[in-house]
Amino acid sequence: MSTVIDLASRSAAPIQPATGIPDPIAAFTDAHNALAMALHYLRQPAGNVPGAMRKAVQALAALRALEAASRQGGAA
């Protein structure tokens, strides 16, 4: 008779909420990428305005996170 060996689960580990000072470089890159995607959506022939608006809101959220990081002393 063969023995069965239980393997570890293959599910991803749960993501823990971020604590402490937000990373200013990550916030800057998030804002930059969101604005770049918003411009991409607007430059399309069909002009995806709702998609561009969503990305602009994401960029504003990232800029607010960047401001919060600078107020907490996260910026060098």
Structural domain boundaries in the chain: 24-71
Backbone angles phi, psi at 3, to 5 degrees: -90, 150
What is the structure's pLDDT at 3?
Answer: 74
Angle at CA 70, nearest 5°, toward 55 and 20?
A: 90
Tell me the pLDDT tens digit for each residue of 28-70: 999 999 999 999 999 999 989 999 999 999 999 999 988 887 8
Q: Which two tokens stand for residue 14?
A: 């749960």
16-39 average pLDDT score: 83
Q: Contact at 8 Å (CB) between 24 and 70?
A: yes
What is the structure's pLDDT at 23?
Answer: 79
